[in-house]
């Protein structure tokens, strides 16, 4: 009797983790899983502890607007619009902080869809002020002012630059482009490792080493940079000279991303010491899949080399989606490698997943 009970409980446990969604590279399958992930997050958003204008949610909203645009799922747009209206389409509080303009990416997309200037004005005013009054603090995370006012950490290269790229294209005002290029390149010069084509999270991490002696390249930190590059490039005109700089950096990073993928298709929270964190980190993995899918679709990456990487990566991501649409294995807010289990989720990981699904959906013929 006891043995039967154990077997029953085991079967129940297995059914809870049964994979409901297919990872086949078909539009119907991609739509099913992305709609489920988006719906789960929208239904559970009231449980999120982050401020609605925080960067965490900014990444979510960007994924929602992209998936809404690609799939026609108006619920995603409605979700972002309700939040924008509630906060009058404002940015968050810190004027110079890259995190606090991140929501502007989604609000710009809302403006592009609906043409309501109220959606654009606050982000334009914030970005214009910063670009015309640049901070003179050192671009160092260890500087008391530079840590807040400069793009002094890798994540910042996702949060703010796509806003400036979009506003340059929309207005034709060089002030946005010049500021973005200057700030971005200084951050690259500070944190990019030429040998590995990866980024340190910030200058405090440069001397750090993992348990296996490898340099500390944080998975999500590099995911932020890798995913931010397509958002910048897509927002720049084809004839813009600056595009080449970002494209070249993207291609270099893509090879490092390919090399650090694990056998199971995932990426770990520490890119050069995966064995110390023996589980996926899916905010990183989703950002990597998004970038690779974008690179394939735009023919910056060789299909023969990178298509298998994408297929394995997407399969690993879909495997982590619970039957109710919850996405697991997402590391909590942090600045360095740390493991996260199957039940760990957060909004930026969902945004990354929706970006990946959107780009994969566009890639499939």
The span from the CA of 108 to the CA of 65, in Å, is 10
Q: Name the residue with tokens 């968050």.
A: 92
CA distances to 19, 22, 206, 220, 342 from 15, rounded to whole Å, are: 8, 16, 44, 30, 15
Which sequence positions are flagged as catalytic?
Answer: 155
Per-residue tokens: 306 = 């990178």
Buried b / exposed e along 144-182 (16+ C-beta atoms within 10 A): eebbbbbbbbbbbbbbbbbbbbbbbbeeeeebbbebbbe
Secondary structure of 261-292 in HEC code, one letter for each residue: CCCCCCCCCECCCHHHCCCCCHHHHHHHHHHH
For the chain, count helices (H), then strands (E). Answer: 15, 2
The span from the CA of 95 to the CA of 149, in Å, is 8
Instruction: Please say whether the beta carbons of 309 and 24 come within 8 A.
Output: no
């Amino acid at each position: 009797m006891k043995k039967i009970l154990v077997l029953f409980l085991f079967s129940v446990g297995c059914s809870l983790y049964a994979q409901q969604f297919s990872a086949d590279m078909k539009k119907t399958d991609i739509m099913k899983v992305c709609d489920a992930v988006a719906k789960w997050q929208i239904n559970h958003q009231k449980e999120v502890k982050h401020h609605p204008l925080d960067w965490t949610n900014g990444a979510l909203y960007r994924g929602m607007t992209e998936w809404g645009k690609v799939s026609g799922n108006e619920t995603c747009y409605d979700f972002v619009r309700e939040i924008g209206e509630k906060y009058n389409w404002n940015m968050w509080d810190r004027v110079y902080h890259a995190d606090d303009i991140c929501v502007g990416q989604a609000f710009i997309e809302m403006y592009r869809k609906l043409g309501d200037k109220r959606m654009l004005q606050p982000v334009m005013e914030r970005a214009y002020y910063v670009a015309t009054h640049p901070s003179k603090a050192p671009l160092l995370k260890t500087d008391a002012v530079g840590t807040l006012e400069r793009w002094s950490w890798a994540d910042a290269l996702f949060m703010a630059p796509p806003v400036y790229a979009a506003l340059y294209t929309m207005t034709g005002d060089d002030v946005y482009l010049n500021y973005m290029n200057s700030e971005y390149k200084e951050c690259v010069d500070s944190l990019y490792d030429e040998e590995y084509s990866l980024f340190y999270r910030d200058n405090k991490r440069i001397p750090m080493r993992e348990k296996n002696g490898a340099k500390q390249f944080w998975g999500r930190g590099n995911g932020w940079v890798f995913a931010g590059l397509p958002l910048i490039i897509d927002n720049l005109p084809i004839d813009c000279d600056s595009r080449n700089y970002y494209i070249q950096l993207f291609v270099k990073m893509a090879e490092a991303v390919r090399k650090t993928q694990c056998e199971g298709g995932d990426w770990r929270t520490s890119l050069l010491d995966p064995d110390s964190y023996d589980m996926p980190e899916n905010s990183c993995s989703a950002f990597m899949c998004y970038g690779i899918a974008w690179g394939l679709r735009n023919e910056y990456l060789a299909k023969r080399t990178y298509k298998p990487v994408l297929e394995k990566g997407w399969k690993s991501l879909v495997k982590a989606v619970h039957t109710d649409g919850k996405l697991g294995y997402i590391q909590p807010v942090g600045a360095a490698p740390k493991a996260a289990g199957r039940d760990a989720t957060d909004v930026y990981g969902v945004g990354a997943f929706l970006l990946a699904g959107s780009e994969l959906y566009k890639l499939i013929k």
